[in-house]
């Protein structure tokens, strides 16, 4: 695997260079090699190569150590953020059947063996010199499994191979002919946007500079971390960029080395791109697109001053090894017409864990293909995304199936029916989820109580604002009128009483 | 001021309809990054003060009371 071979060289040659910087500490390539080497030896001794291990925590240095130990040891790893509520974690455990959990944060294993932080630290600080072995991974081996929202209410594990990731990192290298020395990470490791910073950083011998969740909500701390970073590349969601832009000091003077921002995960509003180009003259902006099922991203467009004036930003051309097809029920559409985006080629993942026959994955011209469910059109080979045809949305860069939220609301006792819609900004960006909930006859509850119960089941970004309803508006077919509820959530209609609507 | 901020947060926050002036706003999820940006915009529109969040410790965004005090100071209200 080329990626790991590059990293292996850096581990040997850049021993004193900082590889990973989080709030608690900085790890050099030399330290990373020793720690991960010892952990890798331990894993190989105790577990069976090729079967998955969960790496649970947030962005501590031990996370980086565990990812490398798994990668070099031949174990598919499943990154799970500590923000994940217990029932969600249990669903992941049931689906993934991991051999063990490397628990950087405390966790009950529910019968799965847990290697706790103290034990991980003991293993890593051993005295024997065990460096990481030279990588031997085949292209079809699973490199990581990332769990994403599924429409049935249970998360789905996407199996990404070594070949998939090699292809992605090779492409990233062509986008950055002059590789950055410091890369700033925003996304949690359970969100595959982080793959676009973590692995390229190590392949380039650069420093991965992470921002923890608590830092991200504390402006003074966040900006002082950014000021100290010497960051040259930021990998982030447009929502996070909007948060940074809310403060005037987010500008070139404070981050003189920042050269490029790589966006993926949700549509980049042109206004955000314009503001960034004003604050950072000459900044390079990549607007990338791709589902988790196709290894982070498969297209990217460079957005300059000219493009930022467009009303709708392109997401760019297909990366090498990938073909973008626009289809309507399996039939190829001519250029310029809108249809479903189908991705064909070497970025398409091996499939969902435990769901080999999922119809979204298939083959076209002898190559793997994935039907994204995203709508789009091609113009001169450049892709433009145009939303979804189903009930999947992006919120703060995370992918959420609205049905997933609805299913999780409906298992709360006495909830009769729940419909989740989006409150959107004028440019179409999803601001938040709004759930309309109807209780069983004679049962009462409060929005606060329902929300509190839901936060025990779903990560924060999936928890909607809740509005209790006596009855739902119906459409002509007698079904719940989702459109009408959407209008209500967006304050465009006066159906019923709606205290939360804005004037 | 407290009442106005309370009304504002009840409008833009997540499930903020039932909060009081001393209720914590972040861990409870009433404020998140998007609601926070909307809050900054509203403060700037209504009171004409542009608060630079980096100049304000997180603690001062803790609840309605502390935010009201912050806005009063920023707008130059007499104590």
* Residues in CB range of A334: below 8 A, 6 or more apart: none
In this prediction, residues A170-174 reach a mean pLDDT of 98
> Does residue B61 sit in helix, strand or coil?
helix
A294 burial via Cβ count (<10 Å: 0-12, 13-18, 19+) = buried
Give the gap in angstroms from C-alpha A435 to the nearest C-alpha of chain B. Answer: 11
User: Which letter does DSSP use for residue A149 in this model?
Assistant: -
Contact B53 A246 (CB under 8 A): yes
Give the pLDDT band (50/70/90) at residue A397: confident
Q: What is the pLDDT of residues A274-320, one digit of tens each?
A: 999 999 999 999 999 999 999 999 999 999 999 999 988 999 999 99
pLDDT given at position A478 = 67
Confidence of residue B18 (pLDDT cuts 50, 70, 90): confident
A446 touches chain B (CB under 8 A): yes
Which pLDDT score is estimated for A428?
75
CB distance from B14 to chain A under 8 Å? yes
- The answer for A 449-478 residues in CB contact with B (under 8 A) is 451, 455, 460, 463-466
Question: Given an 8 Å threshold on Cβ–Cβ distance, is A432 in contact with B34?
Answer: yes
Q: How far apart are CA A100 and CA A40, in angstroms?
A: 14
Nearest CA in chain A to B61: A218
Rounded Cα distance between A351 and A335, Å, is 28
> What pTM does this model have?
0.86
- Contact criterion met (CB < 8 Å) for B11 and A239: no
The answer to whether the Cβ–Cβ distance between B52 and A247 falls below 8 Å is yes
Residue B77 Cα, gap to closest chain A Cα (Å): 23
DSSP string, A93-132: HHHH--SEEEESS----TTS-EEEHHHHHHHHT-SS--PP
Average pLDDT over residues A131-149: 96
A239: nearest CB among B11, B18, B34: B34
First vs last C-alpha separation in chain B: 12
Q: Residue B55's closest chain A neighbor by CA?
A: A220
**A262 at B interface, C-beta within 8 A:** no
Structure tokens at A368: 């793997």
Please identify among residues 19-78 of chain B the ones whose CB lies closer than 8 Å to any CB of chain A.
Answer: 26, 29, 32-37, 40, 50, 52-58
- Assess A249–B contact: CB distance below 8 Å, yes or no: yes
Interface test with A, best of B8, B53, B58 (most A CBs within 10 A): B53
Residue-wise pLDDT tens digits, A184-239: 999 999 999 999 999 999 999 999 999 999 999 899 999 999 999 999 999 999 88
Could you tell me the pLDDT band of residue B28, with boundaries at 50, 70 and 90?
confident
Give the separation between CA B40 and CA B58, rounded to whole angstroms: 14
Rounded to an integer, what distance in angstroms lies between the CA atom of residue A457 and that of residue A89?
9
Q: Which of A418, A397, A405, A356 is nearest to A154 (CA)?
A: A405
ipTM: 0.82
Give a three-class secondary structure readout of A270-304: HHHHHHHHHHCCCCEEEEEECCHHHCCCCEEEECC
User: What size, in residues, is chain B?
Assistant: 79
- Provide, rounded to the nearest whole percent, the portion of chain A with pLDDT above 90: 74
Of B17, B40, B54, which has the smallest distance from its Cβ to A499's Cβ?
Answer: B17
B7 contacts chain A (CB < 8 A)? no
* CA A246 from centroid of its chain's CA atoms: 23
Strands A351-352 and A284-289: unpaired
> Which of B32, B34, B52 is the closest to A248 by Cβ?
B52
Q: Which of the residues B15, B27, B33, B56 would you substitute to probe the A interface, choosing the one with the greatest number of A C-beta atoms within 10 Å?
A: B15
At residue A127 the predicted structure's pLDDT band, cuts being 50, 70 and 90, is confident
pLDDT at A391: 85
């Amino acid at each position: 695997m080329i990626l790991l071979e590059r990293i292996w060289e850096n581990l040997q040659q850049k021993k004193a260079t900082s590889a990973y910087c989080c709030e608690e500490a900085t790890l050099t390539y030399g330290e990373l090699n020793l720690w991960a080497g010892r952990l890798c030896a331990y894993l190989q001794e105790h577990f069976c190569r090729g079967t998955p291990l969960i790496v649970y925590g947030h962005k501590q240095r031990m996370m980086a150590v565990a990812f490398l130990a798994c990668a070099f040891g031949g174990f598919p790893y499943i990154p799970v953020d500590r923000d994940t509520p217990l029932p969600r974690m249990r669903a992941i455990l049931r689906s993934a059947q991991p051999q063990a959990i490397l628990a950087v944060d405390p966790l009950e294993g529910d019968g799965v063996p847990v290697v706790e932080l103290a034990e991980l630290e003991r293993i890593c600080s051993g005295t024997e010199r065990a460096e990481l072995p030279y990588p031997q991974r085949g292209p079809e081996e699973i490199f990581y499994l990332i769990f994403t929202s599924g429409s049935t209410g249970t998360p789905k594990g996407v199996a990404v191979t070594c070949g998939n990731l090699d292809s992605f990192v090779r492409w990233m290298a062509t986008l950055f002919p002059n590789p950055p020395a410091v890369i700033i990470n925003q996304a949690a490791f359970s969100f595959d946007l982080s793959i676009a910073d973590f692995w390229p950083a190590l392949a380039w011998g650069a420093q991965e500079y992470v921002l923890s969740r608590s830092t991200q909500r504390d402006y003074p701390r966040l900006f002082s971390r950014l000021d100290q970073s010497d960051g040259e590349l930021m990998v982030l969601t447009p929502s996070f960029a909007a948060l940074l832009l809310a403060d005037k000091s987010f500008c070139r003077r404070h981050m003189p080395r920042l050269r490029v921002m790589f966006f993926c995960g949700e549509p980049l509003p042109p206004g955000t791109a314009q503001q960034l180009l004003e604050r950072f003259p000459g900044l390079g902006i990549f607007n990338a697109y791709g589902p988790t099922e196709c290894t982070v991203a498969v297209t990217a467009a460079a957005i300059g001053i000219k493009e930022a004036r467009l009303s709708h930003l392109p997401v760019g051309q297909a990366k090498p090894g990938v073909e973008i097809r626009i289809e309507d029920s399996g039939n190829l559409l001519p250029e310029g017409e809108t249809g479903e985006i189908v991705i064909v080629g070497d970025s398409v993942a091996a499939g969902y864990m435990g769901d080999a026959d999922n119809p979204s994955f298939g083959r076209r011209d002898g190559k793997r293909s994935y039907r994204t469910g995203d709508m789009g059109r091609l113009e001169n080979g450049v892709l433009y995304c145009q939303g979804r045809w189903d009930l999947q949305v992006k919120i703060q860069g995370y992918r959420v199936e609205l049905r997933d939220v609805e299913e999780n609301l409906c298992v709360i006792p006495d909830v009769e029916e729940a419909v989740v819609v989006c409150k959107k900004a004028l440019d179409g960006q999803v601001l938040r989820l709004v759930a309309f909930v109807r209780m069983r006859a004679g049962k009462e509850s409060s929005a606060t109580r329902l929300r509190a119960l839901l936060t025990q089941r779903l990560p924060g970004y999936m928890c909607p604002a809740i509005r209790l309803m006596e009855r739902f508006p119906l459409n002509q077919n007698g079904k719940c009128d989702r459109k009408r509820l959407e209008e209500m959530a967006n304050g465009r209609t006066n159906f019923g009483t709606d205290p939360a609507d804005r004037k | 001021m407290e009442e106005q901020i309370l009304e504002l947060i009840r409008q833009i926050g997540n499930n903020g309809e039932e909060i009081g002036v001393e209720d914590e706003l972040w861990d409870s999820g009433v404020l998140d990054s998007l609601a926070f940006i909307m809050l900054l915009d509203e403060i700037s529109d209504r009171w004409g003060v542009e608060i630079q969040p980096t100049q304000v410790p997180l603690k001062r965004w803790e609840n309605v009371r502390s935010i009201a005090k912050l806005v009063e100071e920023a707008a130059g209200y007499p104590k």
